[in-house]
């Protein structure tokens, strides 16, 4: 049985047909053109589903498509997009509208949560009923799975780990609060922290213009003073969040995805060391299992496709 | 159908027969005498179950008992007490051992989590699938229910909201960490904070010896400077935890129990105001629902009795 996943981005609608091994066997994409409004974007999503369906029928004539899932960059609840700022959508019944056109069961899921579903169904947290995923990119996305279901919450705003307040930071978050995990541990956050350390007078060999998170982490690996300081802050705060999540949910595994996760053992060893120190019941829990995500850009499509099994 | 709940405390084993309305219709208790070791305490638990059974048979001859639940002051997982410091128990198969003697299905549950079950089955969070409960007493206990099941975690240490690290505090927690919610928002914490404010030079009309949390809160209500400062810290930190739990789990309701919760609207209005300010998606969530627990001392027995429906 095949499933269709649509990753609704601010720029592009990326779609794929996913097989029962989590492989994306057919893909396509079309521009979102969110400025044209919901009805127009809905029309393009329908178009994309139909294109994918036709392609799948040609290439895999024996296989049926039994589900369509849409990953949405915003708050979703019971098939309705409550709010998606970048798309200018509020309370749009996307699941119902899409189903009316394609006649395949439709599920909606938050895009960061979709990544957690992809990892849980086929990747780094496969076979585990309870997992917590962080996606460290421009922001920090979260995906929480408890008892094999994604935690969506009473209003659809659960799993927003990026906006958990840690402790006061030198700059405020886009969300309007101060001290959010995102301001410490996102790709953006680590660069800002590095620049802050340089301003404070710490030494650095990096040029200050066009610095990316990867540059800061690579420099930290080489011992660059300001970069090391930024990396320590970033990992202190993420580890604090992880050890707190052990007290709250005690998941079987933590998965870390997004660009920053490519830092490898340098990042993961540090997180395990720091999170391990703050586990309340160290003797029982030991060092929490913290592993890198296995999927990259495809995670949104795969997770959306399989979201029906998780909501 | 009736159920038996046993609340295993460090001093007493308190037991009750609970009816299907959550009413404790028969009670009894015997001393725990934990120093005599697990086998001896197990014997007394069996004895207590049998006493309750006999009493119920006499008074309610038409009704059967279909479950026994034990609330344990420690970490439980799959019917095993992994660790209960005050009882000196480690990895004891209490559910199996008790079942072998009483031949009624036995479930174990953490005692703070039991309170959350009592509230969810019959009290303040009745009818809600997702709820978070704080019990503010000597420590801070937690009970999390997601999709109608208690969150126990991979190692049995979930729902430990008291040990979530908030931000650095002037004294460390018994758990060995610094900045735990318990050090800010427990009955003990608010008294310590008050004493700290007095030491810092804030004015107070309270005598310093034998001060209880209730005295501090009552004084804060009257405008006592040091007490107000302590109450603000206590509510700041609990509200921060609540608003973070909205980002993490977005439950339908927060329930607050334990002695401190008797402070009434003075406490609850403050918590709603402060937590409301830090909600990431204010427009969608509004002010979180925060309500007082409905059960007092019986919560442990009622929740233990009904734990089988929640694990």
What CATH number does residue B75 fall under? 3.30.420.40
Residue B127 distance to chain A (closest CA, Å): 13
Predicted local confidence at residue A208, as pLDDT: 64
Predicted local confidence at residue B207, as pLDDT: 79
Rounded CA separation B163/B172 (Å)? 11
Phi, psi of A62 (to 5 degrees): -85, -10
- CB-CB contact of A142 with A160 (8 Å): yes
CA dihedral B252, A157, B237, A133 (to 10 degrees): 120
Q: How many residues does chain A have?
A: 311
Give the A window 60-89 contacts with B, CB below 8 Å. Answer: 75, 82-83
Packing angle, helices A213-221 and A187-199, rounded to 10: 60
Rounded CA separation B156/B76 (Å)? 5
Q: Does A111 touch chain B (CB under 8 A)?
A: no
Is A285 within 8 Å of B157 when comparing Cβ atoms? yes
pTM of the complete model: 0.96
* pLDDT averaged per 10 residues in sequence order, chain A, 311 residues: 96 97 97 97 98 97 96 97 95 98 98 97 97 96 97 96 96 95 97 96 88 96 97 98 98 96 96 96 95 95 98 92
A131: its two tokens: 């997992």
pLDDT tens sequence across A119-132: 999 999 999 999 99
Check whether residue B46 and residue B112 sit in a common domain.
yes
Q: Does B291 touch chain A (CB under 8 A)?
A: no
Rounded CA separation B272/B235 (Å)? 10
Check whether residue A174 and residue A244 sit in a common domain.
yes
Element (H, E) at A5: strand A2-8
Rounded CA separation A275/A286 (Å)? 10
Residue B143 distance to chain A (closest CA, Å): 9
Is B83 within 8 Å of A167 when comparing Cβ atoms? no
Q: Does B271 touch chain A (CB under 8 A)?
A: no
Check whether residue A65 and residue A162 sit in a common domain.
no
Is B251 within 8 Å of A177 when comparing Cβ atoms? no
Residue A18 CA to its chain's centroid (Å): 19
- CB-CB contact of A111 with A142 (8 Å): no
Predicted local confidence at residue B208, as pLDDT: 64
Check whether residue B191 and residue B266 sit in a common domain.
yes
Residue B149 distance to chain A (closest CA, Å): 9
* pLDDT averaged per 10 residues in sequence order, chain B, 311 residues: 96 97 97 97 98 97 97 97 95 98 98 97 98 96 97 96 96 95 97 96 88 96 97 98 98 96 96 96 95 95 98 92
Domain carrying residue B155? 131-292
Check whether residue B173 and residue B269 sit in a common domain.
yes
Is B167 within 8 Å of A163 when comparing Cβ atoms? no
Q: Give B263's DSSP letter.
A: G
Q: Which of B209, B22, B54, B250 is closest to B120 using CA atoms? A: B22
Give the A window 4-63 contacts with B, CB below 8 Å. Answer: none
Between strands A140-146 and A149-150, the pairing is antiparallel
Is A280 within 8 Å of B244 when comparing Cβ atoms? no
Predicted local confidence at residue A68, as pLDDT: 98
- Whole-number Cα distances in Å, A171 to A218, A220, A283, B244: 24, 22, 37, 19
B30: its two tokens: 């015997």
Check whether residue A8 and residue A98 sit in a common domain.
yes
Check whether residue A254 and residue A287 sit in a common domain.
yes
pLDDT tens sequence across A219-274: 999 999 999 999 999 999 999 999 999 999 999 999 999 999 999 999 999 999 99
Element (H, E) at B254: strand B253-257
Check whether residue B205 and residue B221 sit in a common domain.
yes
Mean pLDDT for all residues in chain A: 96
Q: Does A311 touch chain B (CB under 8 A)?
A: no
Check whether residue A163 and residue A196 sit in a common domain.
yes
Q: Does B178 touch chain A (CB under 8 A)?
A: no
Q: Which of B306, B281, B270 is closest to B19 using CA atoms? A: B306
Between strands B131-136 and B140-146, the pairing is antiparallel
Count of structural domains, chain A: 2
Q: How many residues does chain B have?
A: 311
Helix (H, G, I), strand (E, B) or coil at B80: strand
pLDDT tens sequence across B245-275: 999 999 999 999 999 999 999 999 999 999 9
- CB-CB contact of B217 with B264 (8 Å): no
Q: Which letter, b or e, does each residue of A188-204 get, where b requires 16 or more Cβ atoms within 10 Å of its Cβ?
A: bbbbbbbbbbbeeebeb
Check whether residue A100 and residue A148 sit in a common domain.
no
Check whether residue B268 and residue B162 sit in a common domain.
yes
Predicted local confidence at residue B4, as pLDDT: 98
| Phi-psi region at A186: left, alpha or beta (left = phi > 0; alpha = psi -120 to 50) | beta
Q: Which of A248, A290, A311 to mutate to test the interface with B (most CBs of B within 10 A)?
A: A248
Of the candidates B167, B175, B249, the beta carbon closest to that of A280 is on B175
Of the candidates A151, A160, A278, the beta carbon closest to that of B165 is on A278
- Whole-number Cα distances in Å, B75 to B79, B87, B108, B160, B301: 10, 12, 10, 10, 17
Query: How many alpha carbons lie under 13 Å from residue B29 in its C-beta half-sphere?
Result: 13
- Residue with the two structure tokens 């009894």: B28
Check whether residue A284 and residue A245 sit in a common domain.
yes
| ipTM attached to this prediction | 0.95
A246: its two tokens: 């052990």
Is A247 within 8 Å of B167 when comparing Cβ atoms? no
Rounded CA separation A45/A29 (Å)? 10
Is B244 within 8 Å of A82 when comparing Cβ atoms? no
Phi, psi of A142 (to 5 degrees): -130, 155
Is A158 within 8 Å of B285 when comparing Cβ atoms? no
Q: Does A127 touch chain B (CB under 8 A)?
A: no
Between strands A290-292 and A253-257, the pairing is parallel
- CB-CB contact of B65 with B59 (8 Å): no
User: How is B269-288 classified by DSSP, letter by letter?
Assistant: HHHHHHHHHT-TTHHHH-SP
| Phi-psi region at B290: left, alpha or beta (left = phi > 0; alpha = psi -120 to 50) | beta
Query: How many alpha carbons lie under 13 Å from residue B69 in its C-beta half-sphere?
Result: 28
Tell me whether residue A306 is exposed, middle or buried, using C-beta atoms within 10 angstroms of its C-beta: 0 to 12, 13 to 18, 19 or more: buried
């Amino acid at each position: 049985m095949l499933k269709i996943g649509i990753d609704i981005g601010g720029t592009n609608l990326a779609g794929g047909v996913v097989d029962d091994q989590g492989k994306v066997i057919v893909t396509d994409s079309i521009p979102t053109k969110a400025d044209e409004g919901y009805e127009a974007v809905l029309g393009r999503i329908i178009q994309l589903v139909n294109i994918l369906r036709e392609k799948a029928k040609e290439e895999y004539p024996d296989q049926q498509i039994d589900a369509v899932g849409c990953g949405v960059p915003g708050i979703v609840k019971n098939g309705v997009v409550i709010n998606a700022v970048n798309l200018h959508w509020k309370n749009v019944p996307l699941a119902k509208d899409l189903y009316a056109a394609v006649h395949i069961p439709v599920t909606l899921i938050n895009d960061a949560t979709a990544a957690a579903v992809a990892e849980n169904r086929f990747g780094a947290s496969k076979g585990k009923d309870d997992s917590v995923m962080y996606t460290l990119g421009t922001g920090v996305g979260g995906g929480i799975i408890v008892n094999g279901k994604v935690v969506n919450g009473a209003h659809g705003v659960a799993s927003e780990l990026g906006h958990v307040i840690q402790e006061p930071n030198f700059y405020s978050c886009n969300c309007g609060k101060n001290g959010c995990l995102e301001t410490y541990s996102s790709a953006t956050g680590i660069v800002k922290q590095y620049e802050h350390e340089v301003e404070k007078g710490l030494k650095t060999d990096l040029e200050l213009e066009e610095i990316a998170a990867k540059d800061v982490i690579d420099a930290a690996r080489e011992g660059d003073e300001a970069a090391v300081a930024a990396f320590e802050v970033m990992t202190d705060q993420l580890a604090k969040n992880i050890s707190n999540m052990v007290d709250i949910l005690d998941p079987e595994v933590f998965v870390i995805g997004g660009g920053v996760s490519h830092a490898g053992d340098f990042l993961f060893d540090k997180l395990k060391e720091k999170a391990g120190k703050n586990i309340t019941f160290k003797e029982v829990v030991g060092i929490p299992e913290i592993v890198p995500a296995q999927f990259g850009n495809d995670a949104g499509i795969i997770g959306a496709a399989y979201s029906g099994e998780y909501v």
